[in-house]
Amino acid sequence: MSTTLDEAAEAAASFRPPLVLASASPRRLDLLARLGIVPDRVDPADVDETPRKAELPRQLAGRLAKAKAEAVAARSPGALVLAADTVVGVGRRILGKPEDAAEARRFLELLSGRRHRVTTGVALIAPDGGLRTRLVETTLAFQRLTDAQIEDYVASGEWEGKAGGYAIHQRAEVFVRFLSGSHSNVVGLPLFETAQMLRGIGWLHP
């Protein structure tokens, strides 16, 4: 039986290239699952995340998301590559992933009782090499933390591998007295904007 032109067009429109997530973060996998998405492959990008001299938090988030997407796209022909990078900033200062408990304690002391911003850069590279990027920013404020709260949180170990030294989707959520913007952005992937990007290229329906 021959295929009609309409059927061929419909088949072409429904074709979805495999999705590669350029991150090993279990939080990003969980967030994508809320959109009903399971990546075809997880391929963490190995890029240097060291901030450049005088680089601002927003600049770092955007640059690293793009670099991660490009690194994975280079070894994933025919795939759609999604990458993200989340940066915590207090003013112009970037709070990365604490190297040890002492640095995690210093981060929490700095965040105590003041506002800070969490910025996630999202980069999407299509099979044809087309690049789309978004920067999403959320403003938060922590309550004033007591020494006991800080010591208890540091002892929990939740700060390990977390930008800014805390995880909002776990025990640190109780510290947040104010949040303006996307909650999922703070976790590691802004769902609204990511879904918009995927719909914009026709990969996600509806």
Torsion of CA 29, 180, 166, 118, to 10 degrees: 80
Cα separation, 93 vs 113, whole angstroms: 16
Quote the Cα angle for 193-137-94, to 5°. 135
Which of 30, 40, 85, 100 is an active site residue?
85
Neighbours of 99 (CB within 10 A): 9
The three-class DSSP label of residue 134 is strand
Q: Is 85 a catalytic residue?
A: yes
Type of residue numbered 10: E
Contact 18, 80 (CB under 8 A): yes
Strand partners for 118: 88, 138
Sign of the alpha-carbon torsion through 185, 58, 162, 39: positive
**Pairing relation of β-strands 19-21 and 41-42?**
parallel
Distance of CA 21 to the CA centre of its chain: 11
The residues assigned a catalytic role are 85
